[in-house]
Amino acid sequence: MNTCVDVGMENFMIEVVTDKVISLPKHRRVREVVVPSEYKTKTGALFKSRALQYCLEDDVNILADTDWIVHLDEETLLTENSVRGILNFVFHGQHQFGQGLITYANEQIVNWLTTLADSFRVADDMGKLRFQLRLIWKAILLILLKEKCGKNHLSPYGILCSRENVGFKVFF
């Protein structure tokens, strides 16, 4: 949250989506959404995609069609440069979906072997995802999207990932 404020953002909120209550401290920019255990998507999506779809349901969703959603995993570190990149993408207004580069070992390297292994993920991101975004502007995994697009286009897809997900929402 401080990173967003430091960049000068004013109209945003952080939404934490989880399967279990974690009792976050009350704050005007933080919303905790607990997905009921009995909730099922129309397509049978599981894990992260199930949780993200729940947030788009009419009785849960608080976004306007023009709002943007940035999906971050619980281990993601949001930097000032990444927030600036997101804002530049949004203000440019050319596309309704975007994918950011995932990098690893931006801090002190603890284990060279795992750092090297993670570097292959970056290469995959730069190759496969950048290629398809540049040529056909469609991505398999989307992290930045307009709320309206999420409702209309993401709900049929399932992504098998972690249990908890942090959704960062930007209002304009």
The string over 36-63, giving b where at least 16 C-beta atoms fall within 10 Å of a residue's C-beta and e elsewhere, is eeeeebeeebeebbbbbbbbbeeeeeeb
pTM of the model: 0.68
Same-domain pairing of 35 and 88: yes
The answer on 145 and 134 residing in a single domain is: no
CB 13 within 8 A of CB 29: yes
Indicate if 29 and 50 belong to the same structural domain: yes
Domain of 20, in residue numbers: 2-99+141-170
> Based on the domain organization, do 42 and 93 belong to the same domain?
yes
Q: What six digits make up the tokens of 21? A: 């209550």
Query: What are the pLDDT digits (tens) for 71-81?
Result: 887 777 788 98
The answer on 83 and 163 residing in a single domain is yes
The list of the chain residues with pLDDT below 70 reads 105-106, 129-130, 132-172
User: What's the number of domains the chain is made of?
Assistant: 2
Same domain, 134 and 147: no
Q: Verify that 134 and 152 share a domain, yes or no.
A: no
Q: Are residues 70 and 86 in the same domain?
A: yes
**Digit-coded pLDDT (tens) for 6-44:** 999 999 999 999 999 999 999 999 999 999 999 999 989
Q: CA 11, CA 34: separation in Å to the nearest integer?
A: 23
Does one domain contain both 12 and 55?
yes
Q: What is the mean pLDDT of the chain?
A: 77
